[in-house]
Structure 1
């Protein structure tokens, strides 16, 4: 199969907080980019940088060798891939489909099955690293699908991320991302509780952070989102509404396996309270407002 050529045309669907930076990095690497977003204005900056706007997923799919998606919800993923204007049945045979949305493992398997029927290839490759990781091209990319398809796509993944791991068959990338989100869910509660505790104890949370972030309590969320909380910056690196979606997928998958996830369920209930407070479009660090 071999690697995808440097002059390959890449279609990117979903140019939000993460997608914007990922597309810019692909353009900088010399790839030809075609873009589509339901809100056309979200692609204006990318078109100025050299990307070509397409009117629909179907139109985009017919012009490219690789389709990458970074959309919101599993329902969006299903529509983009398998709907009437979906990419699977409107692309030429041999197209590579890579869904980088955090979505359902079972849907990843379904997309791969449909792709194979039309002579194309599919990977599920959700990411972690937030807006900063996307900008700095150091995302962690968790990949499910056939090994040879993964190897072919690896040069493109290397433009967007640093920690790129093939986890197994279709759906394995999504299951890995669920593990990631489960770890983050309880950790975010701990980060918020630690910072509000330090404040109530009359300490300077920034000084406390200097002591605890390099010890056993250290985590990505503590080091990267802790300072934002202290600064009162609740802008989204990752939306509350999308985190709630991810936790729902994880709980459903865990339930299917007969697994109890107590911390995950508590975190989801707190984030749902946060959503009811009107914070669904804030960053996940806005959980701190529950404690305030």
Structure 2
């Protein structure tokens, strides 16, 4: 039995709970990493043509390769960071769902962007290029995804859970594919959606309100970058001409999402540091 007064004991238990939650939280480095990767993207926005083609689809432009490496590397680096930190502190956030989002996003980036760029005229005339068609497809696929995830949580058999997982991943792939076809003909920033979904999922897994705010702001900036040409804002401010090339176009559209992650990561670092004090 402890000799501590009940009030002090409750205070100590609350402090230990907060400290344990802070030890489990490990999202600051991934947020800063993805922020840096987003801000570096304009360096690869202009370059040589696609390197090779398969059945008329051209692959391997500098921007395609960069986003592929950035998303794959970012998600894998996050997984390694969580595993190492979990081994160190003895508590770790489960990240299998996070990696599933990354896998789906990589597939969408690997095939969606090249298909859109190779058949830009056809894609631009397809129903998926129209928000009135693509948005309902995304919403239905997302609803199916949510339903499958709920059903999966009620299943006990490994085969049934595996089948539900595969079906959920296919639904997510349909949603991301539709977004690729909607966004990429105008602006090649659909990979930001994959990063945003990964951070939103990570906020849920971490049960972190601060990461939820950061990922929500980043998701809003991602949609803005894909739906509106932010270079117009800089033009009206007198910073750039209306169009100064692909690098400037990419810089103006990725600046806000990247800064949100970098600033948010710094704020989260101070917050988590205070929670461990």
What range describes the TM-score normalised by the shorter chain of this pair?
A: under 0.3
As a proportion of its length, which structure holds more helix?
A: 2
> Which of the pair has the greater relative contact order for Cα pairs under 8 Å at 6+ separation?
2
Q: What TM-score, normalized by structure 2, do the two folds share?
A: 0.26
Q: What TM-score, normalized by structure 1, do the two folds share?
A: 0.25
